[in-house]
Amino acid sequence: MEETAYAKINLALHVRERTPDGYHRIETLFAFAADGDRLSVESSDTLTLTVTGPFANQLGPSSGNLVIRAAEALRNRFDVTAGASLHLDKSLPVASGIGGGSADAAAALRLLARWWELPASEGDLLDIAAGLGADVPACVGSRSCRGEGRGDILVSQDGSGLAGMPLLLVNPGIKLSTAEVFAAWDGVDGGALPIASPLATALEGRNDLEQAACAIVPDVTDVLSSFDGAVLSRMSGSGATCFALFGDLDERDTCARSIAAAQPGWWQLVTALR
């Protein structure tokens, strides 16, 4: 069996305050690309993970990988004694603001629930996901939703107006620490995320971490300025990946070719919203 770990996009991300526990209260609009990492499973007596792909060497030991942590949590929740041989094709860059690790963990929950034929509801998976990271719950459903709190309090959205919209992701090839970017946030509450249709919310919204990320990695500014013809362009999450939404495929593809010619070292994913 196989499962896609869909790339996570923060169409908007408003940081409202720094809480006493050191975390930040945010309001965000999640959407997901149609593509991402690929996770597959085969029979095994033990629980193992192998990783290949262009970004495999950026991951640490498999024992600490979120995929293994998700698998172990699912197995403990349902008293599973069987093993699984998991293989991750890592095509999304690491520490890049598009939820690669969180998406991988969520894909592991979905995949292994099917593989082990568990009576697991989405609610069960969300409960497990909440203990794995703030972005993992949104990645379980991998559909448009509003996130509040740490991003883990989810409100479903009608994403039909976004589905199929041409999407281009670009990363300048530089990792950004989420903690470092949040620490550099200016502390100014710019106001609430609007409540409207997802596209209108995205267009009216902002990413409050862009300024901090651009100060740490100026290349983010260069990426954002390269999206010619986009309906909306913005940094996703804490960066350094930026996204652009387009009105049609030709505009997206023309922009992608232009960026590839000017910056052949930048990573790109030419895709669409789910």
Question: pLDDT by residue (tens digit) across 3-18?
Answer: 999 999 999 999 999 9
The single residue of 8, 35, 37, 104 carrying the catalytic annotation is 8
> How many folded domains does the chain comprise?
2
Dist CA 51 CA 40 (whole Å) = 10
Query: 123, 156, 189: which is the final residue of a domain?
Result: 156
pLDDT at 63 over 80: no
pLDDT at 238 over 70: yes
Boundaries of domain holding 239: 159-272
Dist CA 207 CA 141 (whole Å) = 23
Residue 175 appears among annotated catalytic residues:
no
Query: 156, 191, 212: which is the final residue of a domain?
Result: 156
Confirm if 133 and 178 have CB atoms less than 8 A apart.
no
Angle at 94 between CA 246 and CA 16, to 5 degrees: 70
Say yes or no: 13 and 129 in one domain: yes
Say yes or no: 101 and 22 in one domain: yes
Query: 114, 140, 156: which is the final residue of a domain?
Result: 156
In the structure encoding, which two tokens stand for residue 113, read together? Answer: 């629930």
pLDDT at 71 over 70: yes
Say yes or no: 133 and 254 in one domain: no
Banded pLDDT at 108 (limits 50, 70, 90):
very high
Give the residue from 158, 164, 160 showing the smallest Cα distance to 271: 164
The single residue of 37, 89, 135, 208 carrying the catalytic annotation is 135
What is residue 268's predicted lDDT score, i.e. its pLDDT? 98
Average pLDDT over residues 124-133: 97
Residue 228 appears among annotated catalytic residues:
no
Q: What is the mean pLDDT of the chain?
A: 96
